Structure 1
Amino acid sequence: MGNLSIVTIIIIVANVLISYKGFGDYSFFDKYKFQVGSVQRGEKIRLFSSAFLHVDMQHLIFNMLTLYFFANPVLAYLGTVNFLIIYVGSLLFGNLLALYFHKNEYHYSAVGASGAVTGILYSAILLRPDMSLFLFFVPIPIPAYIFGIGYLLYSIYGMKKRVGNIGHDAHFGGAVGGYVITLLLAPWLFREHLLMIVLLAIPIVLLYVLRKSGKI
């Protein structure tokens, strides 16, 4: 895991400060959250700003802890600039997928860094598929790629069944963003981790097929 890098600290501090402002100022929160109707009317800044707002402290802490655990492998392999490209690219990809799936729901809204953080998580899995994850409710380590595949499959289920008050589409989009951008930035992965690339692609292909068939 290592020490926190300066870029990770800056991202966490920005999320904490902006989220805290949103906790106590509803007009600020409402102005910068992701909302389909507002984005379609031209307020594109919401596609970016919403990723620095959170519903509550628990939501904020969970996202920042996930970023803390998975930022360093990406930084170590790809460097600060590419890390930021993956973070921002995943953030935007997640919100664009949410916009696509909810384009006719003008009042649909969402906030949170989950898309960006999930992109970093998937980048780390691609770069270090030998990693093991320790989940709070599972007493044994889980291979990172198993978690990655399972998470995307659960996101598809959540999108189909609308499980909970969770932006499953933004999570999925962020994961796909992290997956695609990392492969573009590190094509050597096709040589060294081809099996992992194929396995992690399965849920992405499944979502495409389900969407084309009208089942999602």
Structure 2
Amino acid sequence: MTSYTVIIVVITSLISFIAFNNIKLMDTLIFWPPAVSMRHQYWRFITCGLIHADFMHLLFNMFTLYFFGRGLENLYMGELGLQHYYFLILYFLALIFSNIPTYLKRKDDYNYRSLGASGAVSAVMFAVILIRPWEKLYLYASIPMPSLLFAVLFIGYSVYMSKRGGDNVNHDAHLWGAVFGIVFTVAVDHDSLGNFINALRHPQF
């Protein structure tokens, strides 16, 4: 069966590469809150996830999505017994949900722009962490740690940087994307929360 993760990575990469050299396309797809509130261009909640600021931004998001996404597809269909398309629902709803707090905060800010798939990627990551809290991850591809510890650090950093601001990164999208990944997975598989709590009682390092 074709991986939805691979399809999303390919499509996002192609559109991002085109938009790098096409300002009009970038302006049409980017998340610009006033365009939503005043022009009702609701598609921007999703299309902003198809474009990225530069090659490194794209590479980081797609690299993370590729590995976590394929893992989540397997977990959804295997361990949770869900239909294949649940991954797509998670991904695209996460794009919308992760941008809502930013929209509410910035809907009258004509100078604000946001782009990238980070909110949806965070949702995918945290869905995997919920199911596999003791899975070993490598921070910066070199520092091993349990995925649960990574989750705590990630959330703490996102909250801190969201309050601090000043780095042109939408940390709210990261944070709320992560929350959505957990909530969605619990909603479609009620046992996942109980299994997570049980896993916490049996640490594996």
Q: TM-score, normalised by structure 2?
A: 0.88
What is aligned with 1:148?
151
Q: State the distance in 2 between where 1:106 and 1:182 align.
A: 35
Q: State the distance in 1 between where 2:199 and 2:137 align.
A: 16
Q: State the distance in 1 between where 2:198 and 2:50 align.
A: 34
Q: State the distance in 1 between where 2:130 and 2:75 align.
A: 11
Q: State the distance in 2 between where 1:136 and 1:168 align.
A: 18
Aligned equivalent of 1:18, options 15, 23, 29: 15
Q: Secondary structure at the match of 1:111?
A: coil
Q: State the distance in 1 between where 2:36 and 2:111 align.
A: 11
C-alpha deviation, 1:18, in angstroms: 0.7
Unaligned runs of 5+ in 1: 198-216
C-alpha deviation, 1:196, in angstroms: 7.1
What is aligned with 1:128?
132
Q: How does 1:176-187 map to 2 (within 5 A)?
A: 176-187=179-190
Instruction: Give the aligned residue type for 2:7.
Output: I
What is aligned with 1:208?
none
What is aligned with 1:58?
56
C-alpha deviation, 1:60, in angstroms: 0.3
What is aligned with 1:207?
none
Moved more, 103-112 or 27-36: 103-112
Q: State the distance in 1 between where 2:169 and 2:117 align.
A: 12
Instruction: Give the aligned residue type for 2:74.
Output: A
Cα–Cα, structure 1 residues 123 and 66, in superposed 2: closer, same or farther, change >3 Å? Answer: same
What is aligned with 1:40?
37
Is 1:113 paired with 2:117? Answer: yes
The answer to whether the Cα contact below 8 Å between 2:131 and 2:195 also exists between their aligned partners in 1 is no
Is 1:161 paired with 2:164? Answer: yes
Q: State the distance in 2 between where 1:145 and 1:183 align.
A: 17
Residue deviations 1:93-144 (CA, integer Å, cap 9, x gap): 111121123234233110000001110000000011121111227x441110
Give me the CA root mean square deviation.
1.8
The answer to whether the Cα contact below 8 Å between 1:89 and 1:178 also exists between their aligned partners in 2 is no
Residue deviations 1:133-167 (CA, integer Å, cap 9, x gap): 11227x44111011111111111111101041111
Query: How many equivalent residue pairs?
Result: 193
Identity across the alignment (%) = 34
Q: State the distance in 2 between where 1:177 and 1:10 align.
A: 22
Q: Secondary structure at the match of 1:172?
A: helix
Q: Secondary structure at the match of 2:168?
A: coil
The answer to whether the Cα contact below 8 Å between 1:32 and 1:46 also exists between their aligned partners in 2 is yes
Runs of 4+ aligned residues of structure 1 deviating over 4 Å after TM superposition are: none
Q: Secondary structure at the match of 1:141?
A: strand
Is 1:27 paired with 2:31? Answer: no
Q: Secondary structure at the match of 1:68?
A: helix
Q: Secondary structure at the match of 1:110?
A: coil
